[in-house]
Structures are given as structure tokens and as C-alpha cells.
Structure 1
């Protein structure tokens, strides 16, 4: 239907403009939405009951395909609801197949060290953009911030003598985020270069630095350290923050709070990344570790 095509086009325009989605990503969304539309009387007007029939209709598809199509529809209907194009969001009726979560991509500690060495070397010149990039890297890896959380930080988010900040993250949930002395120092060097009229710590364009630009900057920092840029992103640094903390002995519940995960099952993915460290921890800390096998 022409109306459905218009809604899909509007949705894809939003993904391209606000999320910086690539051409391939947009094509994948269009294909998944078109496939769903072929099963529904109307993609834009489908009710919860009609959406619920997609499960049986997709029964012969692989779990990963069903999960991908459901994710595309979930985001599509969320967009329609937020834009006031429909009163409800029927996506709760979408099938939720059980799929294995892929292990997060991370960097080794020595690779993160190499990135910091390269960025700090440039920042020592005192050039404003080099100081900005250093502050971005310190907050990304040192505090595990999401990309959106980082770029939208208010100018006065960090306060002297307060080693943390309170963020409103995913799902409008607040969490406490620790700020290291290193991050404070990097931000203090960058602050004098932030325009007085800017409401954001990292201004860009008419508002704040975009997520797409942050992604590009992080890849540039990786290249400076001799790391393949396609291995690194803001989210990879967030994964590295979590994995390296866990390897250092951090409690999983504490890590959950720091990352802002609503469900600890999301945090548990990091336990699969460093299994050697976890075995070592059990052997060293468990009460039975000091008892001999013959006891």
C-alpha cells in the first residue's frame, strides 16, 4: 500500500538522519519491513492480534531471522508511536525467539593503553580538538558511557569534588557513573575551549557532537595507535570497560549498576569473555580451595 510505503520511507529517513544508519542498514530494514507487510493487511495499521499472527507465519524461518524482523518492526512501531502517527505500540505481540547473544567485541588492555598513549601525545600539544578527543576517550573507557550519553553531557556535568555524575540513560533510568581523576583532568583542560554559549560539554553543529562523528573520531584514535579502525567503536570501548573491570575482580551486580543494565542477564555476557579469569578466581577464593583433595 502507498500509505505503508510512505511510513516506511519516513522511518528510514529518521534512521539515516538521526542514527546515521548506513545504506546497507537501511536496505536491511526496508527488506524486513516489506517482508512483514506481505503478511499483514496493513503494516502501519496492524493491531496487536494481527501482529501476534506473525509468529506462526514465520515458523519456518531461522530464530535469528525472526529476531531480526521483530527488532525491525519493534523499532518501526516505536517510531510511529513516538511521532504520534498511531496511538498505540503493538510491538509487545511480536515473537521473541530465543537466540544466543554474540560475545561482545573488545580490546586487550595493551591495545587500550596504545590508544591512550597516542591520544595523550597529541593532547600534550594543547590543541583544542586534541584535548577534546582525550576527554572523550577518558570518559568512554573510564566510565563506560554509552555514545548518546557521552555526546549529550551538559557543559557543567562534571563538578569539582564530586567523583561521579548522575545520568538518565536508556529507558529514562537514572544511574550513578564514577568519574576518574584522569577524566576530570582531561575535561578541565578541554573546558576552556568550549564556547561560553554552549549547553553541551562536547558541542557540534547546532547542538552537541553527533553519535556518527563520535564513531568517526574513535576510529581515528584507533588508527593513530596502529589498531584496525573497523575493530573499534564507542560501544567496543564500553565493552572493554566492563570486561577489564570484571577481570580485575569487580562484582557482577556492581558492573550491572555501572553499565545501567535493567537485567543482570545482559551483564552476564561478560562472564563468557574472560572464563580463564573466572576459573582462577574460584580456585583462589573459594573456601574449598585451601583444602586438599584427600581431606
Structure 2
């Protein structure tokens, strides 16, 4: 059983920083992180620790600000290209979180993340304010999606995915695991999406607004013609430089995260949201602030979004109030 001593023991952070981070975030005293976020942050912490040990001969407990700056400069994306600004900023955020924690515990004498000079680190040290679409942008987003021609199964899938994120606030992981028969299920009278999960918090049903249902039903019909097993709601599309878009075939595995972002970005640009946070998280935030603006009770919204605590909704509520001032 994990205790404060085992969670914060120096040997664990020295020998297995990935596991140390994972255990710490699972027992975070203030925030309830989603399982996929915990795994992502732990993986990034482990990758950073490996680089520091290999290239600088120092652990997370010993690294200097210059070491961390060098690590950020070394990050690479696909094809060996320099990592995107968004990716680098995610590493900055994770490293600040971890190094501040180690300093607070007394496992470090300082917090080098406060002295970084890398361009990606030159922004407010406070948690970045959550982004969301304005009511006008929401209208433009929906109008643009509905106006796009849908001659091919992939076009219908993209439209359904774009609307579902905005209509339900589900996460990327949930959309990749969703089954088609859990979208507008036949065994309930009201339109909804059913999220299946072992956790009683994550397992839930989310009501669907009328404006997204016709496209979702159109996608159900197109999906049935694909005859895929398993019946994933959003299958991947085979991509090849020799195949035109309309010649691509559905593949029996979930749509990739990169394809999800490639699908969402054009709609957000068309809505006038020209920001690096063009993805499902911004649409999830938009779902939340839209519900808050309609006076949906916090406990109801927390349940619909599968949140362990109301903390993130409190942050969004404050940001919504600030945006109106």
C-alpha cells in the first residue's frame, strides 16, 4: 500500500521516476487526474529523466536549469524535426509540476524550473487559463460542420466526430473506445451517448442536443455499411499517398489521436478560433462553459463529464466570469 513515505521516497524518484510520478499523481492531494493524463505525465517525466541521466549524468533531483533548457531544446517530433511549440510547452508544464513538487518535499534544494531561459518557458508561471469557444464561435463551428458535403463515409465520420466532441465534452480516449451502438442507443427513450468504464465516475450517459442527432444517425447508417469488427464508433481511415481521400478504406482499429486533431482543426479555424489549442480539450471546455451558462447544476455537469472533483469546473466558472467582464 502506498503511503506518503513510499510515494515521496528519494530512491523511487532516483531509480524509477516514471513510477514515482505515476504513484504521486494517483494520490495527488488537490487534483484528481484522469488515468490517461497520469500515464502521459508519467511517460513524459520518465523520458525527461532518461535524457538528463544519459546526456547530463544527472537525475531529476540533481538537474540544473541549464540541463532542463538543454532538454527542451533537444525535443524532436515526427521525422526528427524540432518538436512543436505545443509539445515543448507540455513538457515545460510537466517539468514545472514535478520539479516544484520535489522542491516542496525537500528532495531538491531549489526549483530549477523557475530559472528557465528556453523560449517555451517564457510565459506566466501560473497554470494556463483554459480556452473555450465563444457563443458566436460555437454557432459558426456548428454551421461550418453542417455545411460541409458528405459524399464519402469518411466525411460523415468527420462531421459526427466534430459535433460529438462539442455536444458531449467526451475525452479523446473515450471517443477512441466508443462503440457505435452506444451512440444514440435504442434501449433508452432520449438521445444520448453511453460511456462504458469500470469506474463508476467515468461510466455515464450524456444527453445529446437536437442539432447533432441527424448527423449522428447518418453516421450510424454509413457505419453499418462498413461491417467492421469490433464496431468502434470512430474507426481509423487507411491513408496512402496513392489513394485519394474518397478511395480510402476504414480500418478495424480506433482513429488515431493525430487524425482526431487533423479533423478538428479546420472546424475550429472556420469558427474563428485561431489558437494553438485547437483540439478536443477546448471543445470539452466549451461544452462545460455552455452548460454553466445555461445554469446546469454543478453536480449534474460533474457527473456528465466524468469528473472526480469539481475543481476544473470551478476554474472554468471563474474563467467564464472573467471573459464576461
Shorter-normalised TM range: 0.5 to 0.7
Mapped partners of 1:228, 1:102: distance in 2: 17
Mapped partners of 1:222, 1:52: distance in 2: 38
Whether 1:128 aligns to 2:153 is yes
Partner of 2:227: 196
Mapped partners of 1:225, 1:271: distance in 2: 22
Partner of 2:284: 238
* 3-state SS of paired residue (2:205): strand
Mapped partners of 1:254, 1:140: distance in 2: 18
Mapped partners of 2:199, 2:180: distance in 1: 23
Structure 1 residues 101, 144: closer, same or farther in 2, change over 3 A?
same
Please, what TM-score do these two structures have when normalized by structure 1? Answer: 0.61
Whether 1:37 aligns to 2:59 is yes
My pick for the range that moved more, 141-150 or 204-213, is 204-213
Partner of 2:214: 185
Matches within 5 A, 1:44-63: 55-61=105-111
Structure 1 residues 171, 56: closer, same or farther in 2, change over 3 A?
farther
Contact 2:162 2:263 in 1 (8 A): no
* 3-state SS of paired residue (1:250): coil
Structure 1 residues 31, 276: closer, same or farther in 2, change over 3 A?
closer
Mapped partners of 1:119, 1:248: distance in 2: 23
* 3-state SS of paired residue (1:112): helix
Partner of 1:267: 313
Partner of 1:141: 166
- Structure 2 gap ranges (5+): 1-13, 19-35, 38-42, 63-100, 116-124, 237-250
- Bigger radius of gyration among the two: 1
Which deviations, in whole Å up to 9, do the C-alpha atoms of 1:254-288 show, x marking residues without a partner? 21111111012232111211226999xxxxxxxxx
Structure 1 residues 247, 149: closer, same or farther in 2, change over 3 A?
same
Structure 1 residues 170, 116: closer, same or farther in 2, change over 3 A?
farther
- Structure 1 gap ranges (5+): 9-17, 20-25, 41-50, 66-98, 280-295
Mapped partners of 2:103, 2:323: distance in 1: 45
Mapped partners of 1:277, 1:27: distance in 2: 32
* 3-state SS of paired residue (2:182): coil
Structure 1 residues 62, 102: closer, same or farther in 2, change over 3 A?
farther
Residue 218 of structure 1 is aligned with which of 256, 264, 269?
264
Structure 1 residues 64, 113: closer, same or farther in 2, change over 3 A?
farther
Report the alpha carbon displacement of residue 213 of structure 1 after superposing the two structures with TM: 0.9
Contact 1:131 1:186 in 2 (8 A): yes
Contact 1:119 1:134 in 2 (8 A): yes
* 3-state SS of paired residue (2:206): strand
